[in-house]
Chains A and B, each alone.
Chain A
Amino acid sequence: MTMLEVKSVTKRFGNLVAVRDVSLTVQPGELRAIIGPNGAGKTTFFNLISGLFSPTAGTIHFDGRDVTHLKAEKRVTLGMARTFQITEIFPELTVFENIRIGTEVAAGFRLRPWLSHAEQAEVAKRIEAMLALTGLEAKATRLVGELAHGDQRAAEIAMALTLRPRLLLLDEPTAGMGDQETYDIAQLIRRLHRDSSFTIVLIEHDMRVVFNLADRITVLDQGSVLAEGTPDEIAGNETVQAAYLGKAA
């Protein structure tokens, strides 16, 4: 059973074709990286998968189910979580409160007027575990908006993880980070992939991160798939080097 199966999706905005006939298959437990120059349509492609908008043509199947026109929040409920290129968090709430909202929604408590003691304890336990996993324990009572950029990204990933997703979509998780922060986030992603066997699709510009983490890489250019393969195959691909790596390196 494939986790994600995208079949020749196209997205037009007026005359602009942002994504053209792109197909992609992701197996359970896989870590797939999507790379490509700026304007290649990577984020638009992510938005199609996660349901921010619907494709003009093509279909998207998630875990065997057609989700092509399903609302974003419904896809989340089915087990698809994402982060954004520009961090989307609740800046005026604490790290703890940020994670609590996700935890309660994931536990099906979003319409509940109150929680029993047992339920409260369960929620608290899961929040603790998530803080530990993402290394945010010491900052639990800080406002997320006041944290360093790297910690904000970690908090956003933590919120996505509270949903216990079967597919995690990360849009440039290391964007705008220094070396140490990039390393920390890469380590976190590696732990999620290797230890907790999350299925992950990520967009990334940092080639060290991509070639270190990814099982397979898809290269987008001008809205179309330029190449797909293992990191070794992509590194040796001449078309990719000409179009992208050559310029970046």
Chain B
Amino acid sequence: MKRAEGTLKLLALVAIWAAMLAAPYWMPLVGGYTALGTRVLVLGLAAMSVNFLLGFTGVLSFGHAAYFGLGAYGAGFCLKFLAPSTPLSLLCGMLLGGIAGALLGALIVRRRGVYFAMVTIAFGQVFYYIAFRWSSVTGGDDGLRGFSRQPIDLGLFSFDILSNATYFYYFVLVCFALITAVMAFILRSPFGRTMIAIRENERRARFLGIPVERHIWIAFTLSCFFMGFAGALYALTNNFADPRGLHYSQSGDFVMMAVMGGMRTFWGPLLGAAVFVVLQDYLSSITINWMSFVGMLFVAVVLLFPRGLLGVIGGRAKA
């Protein structure tokens, strides 16, 4: 039985990667387009970053959009003011989101549950209002404009990811693969197992000698680095950084994707993001009230499949 389970997992993994690798070819056949696939990957990566904390450490942050948005502004500032380099802009975005997360995380890891969520919202909103008000630097309500992603130059080959949507999709997929590999690697490490211990039973974790607050802080910081990276990718996708990307309603969307897809599973949030993005794309062309339909679906999923869409198939979440 153990072996059958392992084989099934491997098959699922192959299927997921095959679907993502071939997306630019099969998506048009079912009425999609490549840029939609790119959005799924970027927002899926953000939802997986939220879930790194929510699903695997058991800590709910409702302000993670702040680090996503900071990542986007970090990438935008880099391209606009520092240097026209796509990799450098990703690094800047990741560092901005991650360092902000490390600093604020140190202040909030002693809180738990609802209090933790409230404080994360409050800090998130601080960044939102800074981005919104400080127009001379951030562009205020209009967002940060006037930058664009740059071609990837590998010496012999140069890829024009700006005008070629397929190239850009594969660029994003490579980035996505790198970050998710790092996540999976951490979750399989002794440190990752202490995260799961904290999720399962904080008191027992503490009485095994795990300094719980410090480990939550590390997990929070790591997830903010991932979040900043996803935000930087988002800025490159749109050639634009939007203050609404920092807003707590955006944080809510990420949590919704994670919960809808299955927060005890590694790939669940990606599925949740896919459902969310595709529905948004389809419904928003029909009605401006698209969010109420997504909301109804969310309620239905939570009521019928408390473990999320992927949780139903995957059974028990294996760490």
Residues of A within 8 A of B (CB): 50, 71-73, 76-77, 81-82, 84, 88-93, 97, 100-102, 104-106, 109-115, 141, 143, 156, 159-160, 162-163
B54 to chain A, nearest CB (A): 16
Please name the residue on chain B nearest to A111 by beta carbon.
B191
Cα(A143)–Cα(B200), bound, Å: 12
Q: Which residues of B contact A (CB under 8 A)?
A: 2, 185-186, 189-191, 193-194, 196-197, 200-201, 203-212, 215, 218, 316-317, 319
> B206: which of A73, A92, A141, A163 is its contact (CB, 8 Å)?
A73
Identify which of B197, B206, B317 contacts A101 (C-beta below 8 A).
B197
What residues of chain B lie closer than 8 Å to A92, measured between beta carbons?
A: 200, 316-317
- Which of B189, B190, B197, B316 meets A90, CB within 8 Å? B197
By a CB distance below 8 angstroms, the chain B residues around A50 are: 207
> 11 A-B Cβ contacts within 8 A?
A72-B207, A88-B204, A89-B204, A90-B197, A101-B194, A101-B205, A106-B209, A110-B209, A141-B2, A160-B207, A163-B209
User: How distant is the Cα of A114 from the Cα of B196 in the complex, in angstroms?
Assistant: 16
In the complex, how many angstroms separate the beta carbon of A75 from the nearest chain B beta carbon?
9
Q: How many A-B residue pairs have CB under 8 A?
A: 87
Q: With a CB–CB cut-off of 8 A, which chain A residues contact B200?
A: 90-93
Q: In the complex, what residues of B have CB within 8 A of residue A84's CB?
A: 203
Cα A72 to Cα B218 in complex, Å, equals 20
Contact A109 B190 (CB under 8 A): yes
Nearest A-chain residue to B202, judged by Cβ = A88
Distance in Å from the Cβ of A70 to the closest Cβ of chain B? 12
Q: Which DSSP category, helix, strand, loop or mixed, fits chain B's interface?
A: helix
Q: Are A82 and B189 in contact (CB under 8 A)?
A: no
Which of A71, A93, A100, A112 meets B189, CB within 8 Å?
A112
Q: Which residues of B contact A97 (CB under 8 A)?
A: 193, 319
Q: How far is the CA of A102 from the CA of B186 in the complex (A)?
A: 18
In the bound complex, do residue B204 and residue A110 qualify as a contact, i.e. CB atoms below 8 Å apart?
Answer: no
Looking at the assembled complex, report how far the CB atom of A223 sits from the nearest CB atom of chain B, in whole angstroms: 24
A175 to B242, CA, bound (A): 58
Q: Which residues of B contact A82 (CB under 8 A)?
A: 207
User: Of A91, A100, A110, A112, which one neighbours B210 at CB under 8 angstroms?
Assistant: A110
Give Cα A38–Cα B7 distance, bound, in whole angstroms: 53
**Docked pose: A108 CA to B201 CA in angstroms:** 20
Contacts of B185 in A (CB 8 A): 113-114
Asked, given contacts A100-B193, A104-B190, A112-B189, whether A159 binds B204 with beta carbons under 8 Å apart, the answer is yes
- Cβ contact of B190, chosen from A71, A81, A112, cutoff 8 A: A112
Q: Lowest 6 A-B CB distances belong to which pairs?
A: A76-B209, A90-B200, A88-B204, A109-B190, A104-B190, A112-B190
